[in-house]
């Protein structure tokens, strides 16, 4: 980890109320470094466009009134990295957008291959169908070496991260709060897994609560890190649609999974398709639109490892399936399991991308 003390001035700048990433970048570019911004005179600060006397006073006093020693201790303890927009490690996709974050707090690691990333987003109140689709597509895309980006929210976001992790793919979670806060709380274990196998990032200072205005701001980073945004289930008023709007502004591809016409959760995605988003039925619909910076890398070894980690019931059902379709009645009879249990196990295997269902209650290995 970098010497966190050298970033003390960056942390102070990130905590100045109402400064914002755009003005922060302009100040650092003008004065040359965050240290020089904080040591600048009020008269010099007032020469910068959009910096009024109140803001100039806040900047001039910041080092005296903002104590970041506790932040530094916490970041040292939990291995947090800071990446400024001047840093060569700053994500290249993100750097190209309008108003990129001036500073990123990072747990885990960002890697060069994350340039080949896709955002998967959708409603927090996802249906079983939406969860299944999000997880399956994250599986398929992850196996192709695509980094999956999402917001670690309930519903579709959670399924996207889990799907990537299950096949050993990289995934990045972008928070709408400080990186020291787990939100939602039930995703603590998921957050730990993402940190281990990918990265959790935020532009908000430590201690920032998950307040509603933070999430639209967070969404521009989700789309900005990615080459495209896939929306899986979204009502007409949805943060996922805000992310899609950012993607369009940033020149990114927008994809959408069609849904039932009588479902409120499908109104947003179906409207996106009407407006020109590419309809997605499989990962290949997305992959054919990508320009890859790195060779596509099927992760067959991870798929093989998945079959080794099955529960006894899952192994029993999986071993009954072949490359030719098998009817569910045969699976129930041959396995000796209750019909409800067989249905549950089949759904779990399908979510993990190991089997697929075809019309007529028939199942086959993927």
Per-residue model confidence as pLDDT tens digits over 312-347: 899 999 999 877 788 999 999 999 999 999 999 998
Nearest to 24 by CA among 106, 104, 109: 104
Whether residue 292 lies inside any domain: the answer is: no
Whether residue 156 lies inside any domain: the answer is: yes
Whether residue 222 lies inside any domain: the answer is: yes
Q: Are residues 132 and 179 in the same domain?
A: yes
Indicate the pairing of strand 228-232 with strand 253-257: parallel
Binning pLDDT at 50, 70 and 90, where does residue 184 land? Answer: very high
pLDDT at 297: 55
Give 225-237 pLDDT, tens digit per residue: 999 999 999 999 9
How far apart CA 226 and CA 102 sit, in angstroms, is 18
Given a cut of 50, is residue 1 above it in pLDDT?
Answer: no
From 13, 38, 71, give the residue that closes a domain: 71
Whether residue 334 lies inside any domain: the answer is: yes
Given a cut of 70, is residue 284 above it in pLDDT?
Answer: yes
Mean pLDDT of 346-366: 83
Mean pLDDT of 23-33: 92
By the 8 A CB rule, do 328 and 278 touch? Answer: no
Whether residue 337 lies inside any domain: the answer is: yes
Selected residue with higher pLDDT from 363 and 306 = 363
Q: Are residues 283 and 316 in the same domain?
A: no
Helices (H) and strands (E) in the chain — how many of each? 18, 12
Q: Cβ neighbours of residue 48 under 8 Å, at least 6 residues apart?
A: 26, 27, 30
By the 8 A CB rule, do 257 and 232 touch? Answer: yes
Binning pLDDT at 50, 70 and 90, where does residue 167 land? Answer: confident
Given a cut of 50, is residue 302 above it in pLDDT?
Answer: no
pLDDT at 296: 60
Kindly report the CATH number assigned to the domain that includes residue 38: 1.10.150.20
Binning pLDDT at 50, 70 and 90, where does residue 97 land? Answer: very high
pLDDT at 303: 46
**Per-residue buried b or exposed e for 206-234, using 16+ beta carbons within 10 Å of the residue's own CB:** bebebeeebbebbbbbbbbbbbbbbbbbb
Indicate the pairing of strand 253-257 with strand 278-279: parallel
Q: Are residues 139 and 267 in the same domain?
A: yes
3-state helix, strand, coil in the chain (%, to 5): 50, 15, 35
pLDDT, the chain, mean? 90
Indicate the pairing of strand 117-121 with strand 81-84: unpaired
How far apart CA 169 and CA 147 sit, in angstroms, is 7
Query: What is the number of domains present in the chain?
Result: 3
Given a cut of 80, is residue 280 above it in pLDDT?
Answer: yes
Given a cut of 80, is residue 294 above it in pLDDT?
Answer: no
Q: Are residues 144 and 262 in the same domain?
A: yes
By the 8 A CB rule, do 35 and 11 touch? Answer: no
**Which residues constitute the domain of residue 66?**
4-71
Kindly report the CATH number assigned to the domain that includes residue 176: 3.40.50.450
Mean pLDDT of 68-89: 91
Quickly list DSSP for 226-279.
SSEEEEES--SS-HHHHHHHHHHHTT-EEEEE---TT-HHHHHHHHHHHTTPEE
Given a cut of 80, is residue 361 above it in pLDDT?
Answer: yes
Indicate the pairing of strand 362-365 with strand 326-327: antiparallel
Q: Are residues 192 and 136 in the same domain?
A: yes
pLDDT at 364: 86
Whether residue 304 lies inside any domain: the answer is: no
Q: Is the peptide bond before 184 cis (omega within 30 degrees of 0)?
A: yes
Given a cut of 90, is residue 219 above it in pLDDT?
Answer: yes
pLDDT at 308: 56
Whether residue 331 lies inside any domain: the answer is: yes
Q: Which pTM does this prediction carry?
A: 0.81
Q: Are residues 361 and 234 in the same domain?
A: no
pLDDT at 5: 52
Whether residue 266 lies inside any domain: the answer is: yes
From 54, 71, 88, give the residue that closes a domain: 71
pLDDT at 306: 52
Q: Are residues 279 and 155 in the same domain?
A: yes
Q: Are residues 217 and 336 in the same domain?
A: no
From 71, 94, 125, give the residue that closes a domain: 71
Kindly report the CATH number assigned to the domain that includes residue 354: 1.10.10.10
Q: Are residues 179 and 322 in the same domain?
A: no
Q: Are residues 213 and 341 in the same domain?
A: no
Tell me the longest C-alpha to C-alpha distance in the chain.
Answer: 83
Q: Are residues 53 and 19 in the same domain?
A: yes
Q: Are residues 229 and 124 in the same domain?
A: yes
């Amino acid at each position: 980890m970098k010497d966190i003390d050298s970033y003390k001035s960056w942390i102070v700048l990130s905590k100045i109320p109402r400064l914002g990433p755009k003005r922060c970048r302009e100040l650092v570019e003008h004065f040359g470094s965050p240290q020089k911004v904080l040591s600048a005179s009020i008269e010099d600060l007032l020469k910068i466009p959009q910096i009024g006397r109140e803001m100039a006073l806040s900047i001039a006093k910041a080092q005296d009134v903002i104590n970041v020693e506790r932040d530094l201790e916490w970041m040292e303890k939990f291995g947090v990295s800071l990446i400024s927009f001047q840093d060569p490690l700053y994500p290249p996709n993100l750097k190209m957008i309008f108003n990129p974050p001036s500073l990123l707090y990072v747990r885990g690691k960002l890697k060069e291959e994350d340039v080949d990333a896709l955002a998967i987003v959708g409603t927090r109140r996802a249906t079983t169908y939406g969860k299944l689709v999000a997880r399956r597509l994250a599986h398929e895309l992850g196996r192709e070496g695509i980094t999956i980006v999402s917001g670690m929210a309930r519903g579709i976001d959670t399924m996207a991260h889990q799907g990537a992790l299950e096949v050993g793919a990289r995934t990045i979670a972008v928070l709408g709060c400080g990186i020291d806060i787990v939100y939602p709380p039930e995703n603590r274990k998921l957050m730990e897994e993402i940190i281990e196998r990918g990265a959790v990032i935020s532009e908000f200072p430590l201690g920032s609560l998950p307040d509603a205005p933070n999430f639209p701001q967070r969404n521009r980073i989700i789309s900005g890190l990615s080459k495209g945004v896939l929306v899986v289930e979204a009502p007409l008023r949805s943060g996922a649609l805000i992310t899609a709007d950012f993607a369009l502004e940033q020149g990114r591809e927008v994809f959408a999974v069609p849904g039932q016409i009588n479902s409120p959760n499908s109104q947003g995605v179906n409207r996106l398709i009407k407006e020109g988003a590419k309809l997605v039925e499989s990962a290949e619909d997305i992959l054919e639109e990508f320009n890859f910076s790195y060779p596509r890398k099927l992760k067959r070894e991870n798929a093989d490892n998945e079959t080794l980690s099955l529960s006894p019931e899952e192994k029993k059902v999986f071993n009954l399936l072949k490359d030719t379709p098998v009817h569910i009645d045969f699976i129930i009879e041959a396995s000796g399991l209750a019909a409800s249990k067989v249905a549950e196990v089949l759904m779990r295997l399908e979510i993990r991308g190991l089997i697929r269902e075809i019309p007529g209650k028939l199942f086959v290995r993927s």
